[in-house]
């Protein structure tokens, strides 16, 4: 089948490359000419494990191409995917659909007389598909199209695996011809027994938000339990294990930490809250989750200050990990941003190291000294704060770190280390939801 992918970001590029790998012919389109020029030179504009090889092999096989103009790819496509950004709208936090509607207008103008399925892969509020349909029908009443919702559930850092081995594929359409096209596109996964859930468009749109809001709730729940653990002298890791072994609860998303961030959970919870308010069906649990998470992210600087006796003014803090999670270069809404700016507001000097995120970090964080490895980062620091659990931070040479630091204080916001091990090396250790030690 022929696919046009409109928007070549984290979702569009991964989805496009995976569809090409399934044997379809894909053109990834982006209006960012710099991004397309880089891809045409063979450079991958984002960091995602395995993506380089996947893109190169499919370009070489003639199944994956890039373009800045969508006209020809759309004209020839069986399916056109909209995978553009849907950030939070400034002011009210609702999803900003400007890019989606602009893409819909451009697609409408380019449609040929063949049957074309237009698929919204971007995360969009309930009813967006109806508006996309209205835009396309108004511009091209004669066009033979069906407008489908197919939300994406991949996670950055494991995006290719997630796309190729999804827990489920959700397709929202009541059009039988569109259903056949979608089934054919995903046939290789269907053969892998990935459940293909067909439903109506509005339900599909809501499934995506409900899933993200539920996961954000689970994280926030364990974070609050972690705070209680600190007060009562319990260990949140064991609480998480103890409840997670119950199949009705499950062990995933029960890791206490500095609060959720990233390009999806913060904006998607806000957008769902707004939708609930618009329809007079408020989602009070999600409203609380978002508020608790915001306060938590801001509160992490106080936790670091407390580890240093209450004061960070004039102290040097070494931050390990800047991206919102490991294995991505994505800095959107990363917990490191609030932590570092709050520490700076409190008068601290901040040094930082991240394996791949430092270039992106420089555009959102100022006055940070970027270091070239964890050890130069720790040099002369009064505290070492682990913010993102990159693999390489899990086995630090603790004697070397201690020797480099001015004060051996470790604040482990991801509970990467066992407290007794760090204390044995002469550190003071502060984790999340576990008794402080040393
Ligand atoms: P992104 O910002 O990385 O990429 C979006 C791309 O779309 C940009 O390169 C932009 O230049 C391009 N674009 C915008 N308007 C365009 C137009 N009219 N024509 C061509 N290109 C256009 O965004 P992303 O992280 O890939 O997210 C895309 C959507 O997928 C969002 O709705 C997001 O919520 C959703 N989503 C993201 C993830 C994730 O992990 N990033 C996971 C699931 C769903």
pLDDT at 436: 78
Query: What is the whole-number distance in angstroms between the Cα of residue 187 and the centre of ligand 1?
Result: 24
Ligand 1: nearest atom to the Cα of 99: 15
DSSP 8-state secondary structure symbol assigned to residue 217: H
Residue 7: the pLDDT is: 98
Judge whether 2-199 and 221-430 match in fold.
yes
The per-residue pLDDT for range 280-323, each reduced to its tens digit, is: 999 999 999 999 999 999 899 999 999 999 999 999 999 999 99
| Ligand 1 centre distance from Cα of residue 133 (Å) | 20
Give catalytic status of residue 264 as yes or no.
Answer: yes
- The residue nearest atom 9 of ligand 1, judged by CA position, is 9
Q: Output the residue whose Cα is nearest ligand 1's atom 22.
A: 7
Regarding the domain delimited by 221-430, which CATH topology (the fold level of the hierarchy) does it fall under? Rossmann fold (3.40.50)
Pocket of ligand 1 (CB under 6 A): 6-12, 29-32, 35, 83-86, 99, 102-103, 106, 122-123, 152, 154, 156, 263-264
Separation of alpha carbons 415 and 428, rounded Å:
14
Q: How far apart are CA 409 and CA 419, in angstroms?
A: 12
CB atoms within 10 A of CB 134: 13
Mutate to test the pocket of ligand 1, among 84, 94, 327 (most ligand atoms within 8 A of CB): 84
What pLDDT is stored for residue 105 in this prediction?
98
Q: Which residue has the tokens 């270069």?
A: 329
Question: What are the residue ranges in the chain where pLDDT is below 70?
Answer: none
> CATH topology for 2-199?
Rossmann fold (3.40.50)
Contact call for residues 205 and 128 (beta carbons, < 8 A): yes
The confidence score (pLDDT) of residue 64 equals 98
The structural domains of the chain, with segments of one domain joined by +, span 2-199, 221-430
90-121 confidence digits (pLDDT tens): 889 899 999 999 999 999 999 999 999 999 99
Is the alpha carbon torsion for 227, 232, 235, 241 positive or negative?
negative
């Amino acid at each position: 089948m022929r696919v046009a992918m409109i928007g070549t970001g984290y979702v569009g590029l991964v989805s496009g490359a995976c569809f090409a790998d399934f044997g379809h012919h894909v053109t990834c389109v982006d209006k960012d000419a710099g991004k397309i020029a880089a891809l045409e030179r063979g450079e991958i504009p984002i960091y995602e494990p395995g993506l380089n090889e996947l893109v190169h092999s499919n370009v070489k096989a003639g199944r994956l191409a890039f373009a800045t103009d969508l006209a020809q790819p759309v004209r020839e496509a069986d399916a056109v995917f909209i995978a553009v950004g849907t950030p939070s709208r400034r002011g009210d936090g609702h999803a900003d659909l400007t890019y989606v509607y602009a893409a819909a207008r451009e697609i409408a103008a380019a449609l040929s007389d063949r049957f074309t399925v237009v698929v919204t892969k971007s995360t969009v509020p309930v009813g967006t598909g109806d508006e996309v349909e209205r835009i396309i029908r108004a511009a091209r009443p004669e066009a033979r199209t069906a407008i489908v919702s197919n939300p994406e559930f991949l996670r950055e850092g494991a995006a290719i695996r997630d796309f190729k081995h999804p827990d489920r594929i959700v397709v929202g359409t009541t059009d039988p011809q569109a259903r056949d096209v979608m089934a054919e596109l995903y046939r290789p996964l269907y053969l892998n027994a990935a459940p293909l859930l067909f439903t109506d468009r509005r339900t599909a749109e809501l499934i995506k938000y409900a899933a993200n809001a539920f996961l954000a709730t689970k994280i926030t729940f364990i974070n609050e339990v972690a705070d209680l653990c600190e007060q009562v002298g319990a260990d949140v890791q064991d609480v998480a294990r103890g409840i997670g072994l119950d199949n009705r609860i499950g062990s995933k998303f029960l890791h206490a930490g500095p609060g959720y961030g990233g390009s999806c959970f913060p904006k998607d919870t806000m957008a769902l809250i707004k939708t609930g308010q618009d329809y007079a069906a408020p989602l009070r649990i999600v409203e609380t989750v978002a508020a608790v998470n915001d306060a938590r992210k801001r509160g992490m600087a106080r936790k670091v200050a407390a580890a240093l006796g209450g004061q960070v003014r004039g102290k040097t803090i070494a931050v390990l990990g800047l991206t919102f999670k490991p294995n991505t270069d994505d800095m959107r809404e990363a917990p490191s941003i609030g932590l570092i700016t709050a520490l700076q507001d409190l008068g601290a000097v901040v040094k930082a190291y991240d394996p791949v995120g430092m270039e992106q970090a420089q555009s959102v964080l100022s006055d940070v000294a970027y270091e070239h490895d964890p050890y130069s980062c720790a040099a002369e620091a009064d505290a070492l704060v682990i913010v993102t659990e990159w693999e390489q931070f899990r086995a630090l040479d603790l004697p070397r770190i201690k020797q480099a630091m001015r004060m051996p204080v470790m604040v482990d916001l991801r509970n990467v280390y066992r407290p007794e091990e760090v204390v044995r090396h002469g550190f003071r250790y502060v984790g999340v939801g576990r008794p402080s030690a040393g």
